[in-house]
Structure 1
Amino acid sequence: MIELDNVAYSYGGGELLSEISLKLAPGSFHFLTGPSGAGKTTFLKLCYGALIPTAGDVMLFGQNVRTMSRDDIALGRRRIGVVHQDCRFLDHLPVSENVALPLTVAGAEHYSDIANMKELLAWVGLSRRADALPPELSGGERQRAALARAVIQSPDVILADEPTGNIDWDMSQRLLTLLIELNRMGKTVMIATHDLSLIRAAKSHVQARVLRIANRRLQLAGADL
């Protein structure tokens, strides 16, 4: 689905990532770890075509990002749901419309015509907050809204960048449960996190691979959890 072959990425004159090779298989679950500044966010951006590697090749669903047009990359990215670390929303729109933004951009009908909107908001526990504005949401609610927005187009892959970084432990567990449910539905999931407790909490619920970025390279941090 997503394949990186001997990928390197340089930023500001220095190499941030080097000799990165990885295949994300359908239905797999990965944790990506590493210290702040190691390149986790950059790695995820390479995975969904937001960045072009300095060297090596990134394949999105069988196509090389180097030869893909912007339209091709946009179509490929519809199959990838991204939960960004900063959870940005349009503050003047209610939660339901923020969640539906990917459909709006894709030219779909207004969110009220999307049959699964209520079901999706119920799934992330935001049914009662559908009409709330983003500034009225708690940190955990924002993260769950971000997850709903990431999966509104039923992507094949979900990439989550530090999704539990700014929420308490109970809410982190709830968000992890939602991501595990997506994986059980056949979705490929990768979570970038520095929270080893979160990885340990997943141990009895999902088979996952733990990857670590260290010294610019990607390492297998452990066998199946």
Structure 2
Amino acid sequence: MIELENVAYSYGGGELLSSVSLKLAPGSFHFLTGPSGAGKTTFLKLCYGALVPTAGQARLFGQDVREMTRDDIALVRRRIGVVHQDCQFLDHLSMAENVALPLTVSGHDPNSEQQNLTELLNWCGLTPRANALPPELSGGERQRAALARAVIMSPDVILADEPTGNVDWEMSQRLLQLLVELNRMGKTVMIATHDLGLIRAAKQHVQARVLRISNRRLQLAGADL
């Protein structure tokens, strides 16, 4: 699905990632850890084609990123749902309209998808807030809305960048439960986080592989996590 082979990425003249190799298998669950500034967000961007490696090869569903056009990337991105760290929304649209935005951008008729949207908002516990504007949402509601927006196109892969970074422990558990449920539906999930407690909690419910970025390299983290 997503394959990185000896990938490196340089930024501002310095190498941020070096000799990174990974294959994300269908239905797998990964955590990505490492200190702030280690390159977790950069790594995720390489995984969904937002960045092109400066060395090595990145393949998305069998296609080499370097050989893909902008349209190719856009089509592949429909199969990869991304939960961004900053949860950006259009403040003049309701929460439900923001969640449905990928449908509009991809040419779908949101009205024909209304039942799916209703079911998704209910699954995320957001039905009472469907008509609220983004500034009216709490941090936890924004994160759940970001997750709903990422999965509205029913992607094969979900990449989440610090999805629990700005919420309390109870909401972190709620978000983790949603991601575990997605994995049980057959989705491949990767969560970038520095929260070791979240990783320990997840391991009670799902077989997760824990990866760590250290000294520009990607390593399998210790079994004591």
TM-score by length of 2: 0.98
Q: Which residue of 1 aligns with 2:55?
A: 55
Contact 1:162/1:191 (<8 A) preserved: yes
Distance 1:47 1:223 in 2: 25
Q: Which residue of 1 aligns with 2:158?
A: 158
CA RMSD, Structure 1 to Structure 2 (Å):
1.2
Q: Which residue of 1 aligns with 2:196?
A: 196
3-state SS of paired residue (1:45): helix
Query: Are residues 1:76 and 2:76 paired?
Result: yes
Distance 2:215 2:224 in 1: 23
What are the residue-to-residue correspondences of 1:34-183 with 2, within 5 Å? 34-111=34-111, 113-183=113-183
Distance 1:36 1:48 in 2: 21
Question: What is the deviation of 1:95?
Answer: 0.6
Name the amino acid aligned to 1:184.
R
Size of the aligned set, in residue pairs, is 225
Question: What is the deviation of 1:110?
Answer: 2.9
Name the amino acid aligned to 1:192.
A
Question: What is the deviation of 1:105?
Answer: 0.2
Name the amino acid aligned to 1:106.
S
Query: Per-residue displacement from partner, 1:100-143 (whole Å, max 9, x unpaired)?
Result: 01000001113574320110000000000000000000000000
Query: Per-residue displacement from partner, 1:121-168 (whole Å, max 9, x unpaired)?
Result: 000000000000000000000000000000000000000000000000
Distance 2:110 2:31 in 1: 35
- With over 3 angstroms needed to count, the CA separation of the structure-2 counterparts of 1:207 and 1:153, relative to structure 1, is same
Distance 2:43 2:111 in 1: 32
3-state SS of paired residue (1:16): strand
Name the amino acid aligned to 1:8.
A
Distance 2:46 2:159 in 1: 11
3-state SS of paired residue (1:115): helix
Question: What is the deviation of 1:203?
Answer: 1.4
Distance 1:187 1:113 in 2: 20
3-state SS of paired residue (1:150): helix
3-state SS of paired residue (2:66): coil
Name the amino acid aligned to 1:119.
E
Task: Considering fraction of residues, name the structure with more helix.
Answer: 2
- With over 3 angstroms needed to count, the CA separation of the structure-2 counterparts of 1:224 and 1:64, relative to structure 1, is farther
**Could you list the runs of 5+ residues in structure 2 that have no partner in the other structure?**
none
Question: What is the deviation of 1:224?
Answer: 10
Distance 1:63 1:220 in 2: 26
Distance 2:224 2:63 in 1: 29
